[in-house]
Amino acid sequence: MIFDVSEATFEQDVIERSRTLPVVVDFWAEWCAPCRQLGPLLEDATRAREGKVALAKLDTDANPAISQAFGIQGIPAVKAFRDGRVVEEFVGAQPRPQVERFFDALVPSEADQLVASGDEASLRRALELAPSRTDAIVPLARMLHERGEDEEASELLARVPRDFAASGLAARIGLERAGTPDLTEAFAALDAGDHERALDLLIGAMPGSDGARDDIRKVVVGLLDQLGVENELAREGRRKLAAALY
């Protein structure tokens, strides 16, 4: 979708449209030679992603108020809008590869879309396209673990050994295989979404866990990573974990 936009239509055609579709705005002018060089590249990139991104062309001479509002000091200037705000931009004519990378950053890849779907078939297809995508490996491994297919789950998790969530799940599988009975209640709480109780039980089991201590720590760290840095429960969990370790 390629169209001209003006001050009168900018709010509706760019700001509002960007809430459902990324909109790239080309700030240009008739007298600007670099604009004439860049324009066709922007149009080609838009057509190649038909239905996934829109290109709005704004004549800065005819629409000075919009140009001033967005601080346009040199043209061509290109700004990408998503959810009503500028998310990417550049100034000056750029070569085709750079323009393509700019558009690629705005439009989800096939693997991105598959991961977002979240079902098993989509996650498996995403891993065919990108075998080391953690955001596909971990949820797929969780599905496999839930139905007892731990061998395949472990093979997947081994692809991303430095990821906290993956390491945590791999450690849990190892602990369950070893038949550590003291953790049954903790894992049940984890599966039920009772993260506070799961953390308390896991951390509480560490002092007497002997050889399983490091694997329990990995499970805890994986859960804390899942909760996020700013989560209050995660902050308290990190404090309790540090106390248990040191």
Catalytic residues: 32, 35
Rg (CA), the chain: 25
81-87 contact pairs (CB < 8 A, 24+): 81/14, 81/15, 81/18, 81/22, 81/23, 81/24, 81/25, 82/18, 82/22, 82/23, 82/106, 83/18, 83/19, 84/15, 84/16, 84/18, 84/19, 85/18, 87/22
CB 106 within 8 A of CB 42: no
